[in-house]
Amino acid sequence: MHTSTTSTAVLTPWSAAQLQQATQGYWLNDRAPSTEIKRILTDSRHAEAGDAFLALKGERFDAHDFVAQVAASGCQVAIVSQPVDADIFQLVVPDTRLALGHLGAYRRAQYPDLKVIALTGSSGKTTTKEMLGSILSRLAPTLITRGNLNNDLGVPMMLLELRPEHQYAVMELGASHQGEIDYTSQLVQPQVAGIINIGTAHLGEFGGREGICRAKSEIYAHIVADGCSIVPAADDFVDTIRQAVRTEQCLSFGNGGDVFATDIELQPQAARFQLHTPQGVRAVDLPFAGEHNIQNATAAAAFALAIGIGLDDIVAGLEQAQGAKGRLNFIQHGAHLLIDDTYNANPTSMRAAGEVLAQQEGIRVMVIGDIGELGASAAIEHYKLGRDLVSLKGLNFVVAVGEFAPASQEGARSTQYGKKLQAFLNQEQALPFLISLVETHQPQSMSFLFKGSRYTHMETLMTALMEKL
């Protein structure tokens, strides 16, 4: 799922002096625009009159090549790291990537009364963010991280969208290398921040869960002095996480924590539980399936309590929350149920999705794409995934698609349930098999769950199957 980096909302404009002050750059030939700049953007395709185009440079691209193009589109301002031969006002800065961070930090500093929550974790970040968005948006205008804009580029882009009416912000922070969350949390300056869990996403980049824990724990470095740290009480790494906490105030969630769930009742597409907090106990009817989402709900409750939200408002927000696109979205298509969980995947979330599918009606088919960012662990992690999914009571078939499908098949064959898993190298090969499964089991209803890392585009296979049903 692609997320636009360009906001469609009307943003707070910038003056030329503010741009220069924030970036510490200089205007080429002392030529600066006299009109306000309505927005800063990095996507040349959307540049128009009134915009400032920030030319990012990476290993494989250089947006300075598009400055002349945006000038032709009517864009009057470019932020560049070296002057370009184009008829456009140019603000020259040492590094455009860092300039984006400076601009985000400048905008954040303009709203000292803003209450900011920052969260990270291996899985559940997006769902917990959406739950918090539901809780806070009922009470006041809230800025919420859009899609996957959670890295060293995405976070400052989100901060640029802050407006005077915002009273809350929920910022999701992701990490693909050490130091990234330290950088983004410094930009964000949260009052409340914490980790949801330490899982196995991005094993390749960090070389193991210990490295992931170090990277995620950077989120505690820049919480304001009188703020609150949130920690996952039941996580394997909770002791290490607690060592990173610097605030006096700390709130934990999950089994053994300050905020936890009891009397859990899992339903096919929802869950009920008793929410225990320092403010009291409440019954919650959660419109999300799976025990992992109850964990996400207790995390959201802890973050919300720490920022000063009352328990009744938290429960109301949880009960009205909606999942992000591609996160366990239930689609009834004739006699069949299709579950779109294609937003992303890691080994932990794959298993959690399998448990949700196991609770559904009819013949249950899990369709999995490759998991990315596992590095040297990729083959063994897919092997273990194949082994565990076919062993999950309630799953009738597992269809693995992609480069690591044979590894998943090998894992399945190490059990007595090996025949439950079919492996295909691409979606084109998998689709006829899925159609034949439906035809074989007619008129029985079937439940399909589609999941894989974002780059696998498993939603394409799901759509193709729906067209054939």
Proportion of the chain above pLDDT 90, given as a percent: 90
Say whether 426 sits in a helix, a strand or coil. Answer: coil
User: Which pLDDT belongs to residue 1?
Assistant: 32
**Nearby residues of 344 by Cβ (< 8 Å), 6 or more positions away:** 126, 148, 326, 453, 454
Proportion of the chain above pLDDT 70, given as a percent: 97
Instruction: Give the type of residue at 173.
Output: L
Q: Which residue has the higher pLDDT, 132 or 207?
A: 132
Residue of 200, 208, 206, 136 lying closest to 166 (CA atoms): 136
**202 — pLDDT class (breaks 50, 70, 90):** low
**Nearby residues of 138 by Cβ (< 8 Å), 6 or more positions away:** 313, 316, 317, 320
Per-residue pLDDT tens for 145-190? Answer: 998 899 999 999 999 999 999 999 999 999 888 899 999 999 999 9
Per-residue pLDDT tens for 1-28? Answer: 334 566 667 899 999 999 999 999 999 9
**Nearby residues of 461 by Cβ (< 8 Å), 6 or more positions away:** 367, 369, 401, 427, 430, 431, 434, 450
Q: What domains are defined for the chain?
A: 16-96 (3.40.1390.10), 111-320 (3.40.1190.10), 329-468 (3.90.190.20)
Per-residue pLDDT tens for 69-94? Answer: 999 999 999 999 999 999 999 999 99
**122 — pLDDT class (breaks 50, 70, 90):** confident
In this predicted structure, the answer to whether residue 308 has a pLDDT above a threshold of 60 is yes
User: Which pLDDT belongs to residue 76?
Assistant: 95
Mean pLDDT of 338-365: 95
User: Which pLDDT belongs to residue 5?
Assistant: 64
Angstrom distance (rounded) from CA 343 to CA 331: 15
The model's pTM is: 0.87
In this predicted structure, the answer to whether residue 204 has a pLDDT above a threshold of 70 is no
In this predicted structure, the answer to whether residue 297 has a pLDDT above a threshold of 70 is yes
The Cβ of residue 58 has, within 10 Å, a number of other Cβ atoms equal to: 9
